[in-house]
Chain A
């Protein structure tokens, strides 16, 4: 029964939206790979199919391909299926439409990705820094950000506390 419903969902999505591939990589997981133009309509469609919870948005930096991959993780209360809608965008001047009109709680996830990867979400009004304070470098979760180099640069500049013996 569940299997049939999943296949039906796959058929519908692939039929309505062009350039979209639906896969079932493992049990209870569905991956929808699509273009960014299709993202909002597909999320809206999934929401109308009772997939009403946005559990998270993740981001992967595929630096060699020059792309960011955004993964929208959506679930339903009536099905064990966990859906991952994947969209790729260029690393240069990375930006994409916000989804807060469909899933309100996307707000905080988009804010996190904006800070850690530098992806701009058009239409999201609350993209202020979340964890970091006065961050000057490139977004820290990008692959070209070198954590060890940064630590050396920042913390080696902090003057050592001279012990009492050295002073005299």
Chain B
């Protein structure tokens, strides 16, 4: 059979996001897959060197469009470490709530993308609608729906509005009540099972060798989560599990994502219960004159996709000397994805890519 070259994306009905893959195919079989990123390269890391410490907040959140809060948090935590700032206890709890709400929103968006791509329109629309409820909560808390610029060095921008906790609790209960419907129409649906089972399979050894993180690693049975390895904020004061599966295929990965949503809900409820009263912001120096001593740090958090790290260097100036974001999608999308695509069929390209939970803006930065 003749070998053909096929351009999959960025303008392709099966592609999600601004990403493209060049496929070498023979019939329906993929012989080789070459990821081709760069459609969203904005050079944020370079631009950050030209702006002062505070001016970078509207930048960093845009690195991951779907889950901006973990980007803000990791940058704020790095600046705090460099400048030796301790944040108030209440701010830690609020940040944890924001991060977990963001994880929920991101997982619902991921469920939408996956369900939508495979033609499960009904649960897809539910997931999108439920994500919108979280965006409503974010709008009330921060004034913005998608980008919040809420976490700042020293704490968070403002305290929770009146009655916010009740609204969050109400949403979590409503979501939990819907879970059986989601299971029936999507997660435990026979058609979905057949479509995702044994697709894009990674062995445990491979996941470890390839430095996979997040669901990709946990779906192979490895219990590894930065929230447990190196607890930040208040993750050592709340109880939660790290869901794992052992098959390492697309179906295992989506089930890990589903189970994580429940854990996130558990964390948020405990935070609301335990949250102390007090101030939420520690005053920081005048942002235009703020200089940070010559120092460097590596800060890591567990974003909804895996380990998110920031290597931040200051040379004593009023702007970062160098910022490097270690994003989970970079490794998953550029290194692991082509290895999984080799030997699979054209119909499974989008399936495998979404099951790895790859977001293009995070790769290009």
Q: Which residues of A contact B (CB under 8 A)?
A: 25-26, 28-29, 52-56, 58-61, 71, 73, 77, 80, 82, 84, 103-105, 107-108, 112, 130-133, 140-141, 145, 147-148
Contacts and interface: CB of A to CB of B under 8 A. Distances in A.
A26 B81 contact: yes
Contacts of B43: 140-141, 147
A105 B211 contact: yes
B138 interface: no
B211 A55 contact: yes
Contacts of A140: 43, 46
B86 to A, nearest CB: 14
Contacts of A107: 335
A133 B37 CA distance: 11
Contacts of B107: none
Contacts of A26: 81, 297
A155 to B, nearest CB: 14
Contact of B230 (A53, A80, A108, A132): A80
Contacts of A29: 297-298
A53 B322 CA distance: 23
Contacts of A132: 38, 41
A71 B323 CA distance: 13
A60 B331 contact: no
Interface of B: 37-38, 41, 43, 45-47, 50, 81, 208-211, 213, 222, 224, 229-230, 297-298, 300, 307, 309, 311, 313, 321-322, 324, 326, 330-331, 334-335, 364
B222 A77 contact: yes
B335 A141 contact: no
Contacts of B41: 131-132
Contact of A108 (B209, B300, B307, B335): B335
Contacts of B210: 104-105
Nearest to A64: B315
10 contacts: A25-B297, A56-B324, A104-B210, A105-B211, A130-B37, A131-B37, A131-B38, A132-B41, A141-B43, A148-B50
Contacts of B364: 131
Given A26-B297, A105-B335, A132-B41, A77 B224 contact: yes
Contacts of A130: 37-38, 334
A55 B217 CA distance: 13
Contacts of B208: 52-53, 77
Given A82-B298, A131-B38, 8 more contacts: A29-B297, A54-B211, A58-B311, A131-B364, A140-B46, A141-B43, A147-B43, A147-B47
Given A131-B41, A131-B364, A73 B311 contact: yes
Contacts of A147: 43, 46-47, 50
Nearest to B223: A77
A108 B46 contact: no
A52 to B, nearest CB: 6
B165 to A, nearest CB: 32
Contacts of A73: 298, 309, 311, 326
A52 B209 CA distance: 7
Nearest to B321: A60
B350 to A, nearest CB: 21
Contacts of A82: 298, 300
Contacts of A25: 297
Contacts of B331: 105, 108
A104 B209 contact: yes
B250 to A, nearest CB: 21
B209 A80 contact: no
A132 B222 CA distance: 36
A26 B322 CA distance: 19
Contacts of B330: 56, 108, 112
B46 A60 contact: no
A14 B269 CA distance: 48
Given A82-B298, A107-B335, A55 B307 contact: yes
B37 A141 contact: no
Contacts of B326: 55-56, 58, 73
Nearest to B323: A58
Nearest to A28: B230
Nearest to A77: B224
Nearest to B50: A147
Contacts of B209: 52, 104
Nearest to A133: B38
B83 to A, nearest CB: 14
A141 B44 CA distance: 10
Contacts of A56: 309, 311, 324, 326, 330
A130 B335 CA distance: 13
Contacts of A133: 38
A53 B47 contact: no
Contact of B334 (A52, A54, A84, A108): A108
B301 to A, nearest CB: 13
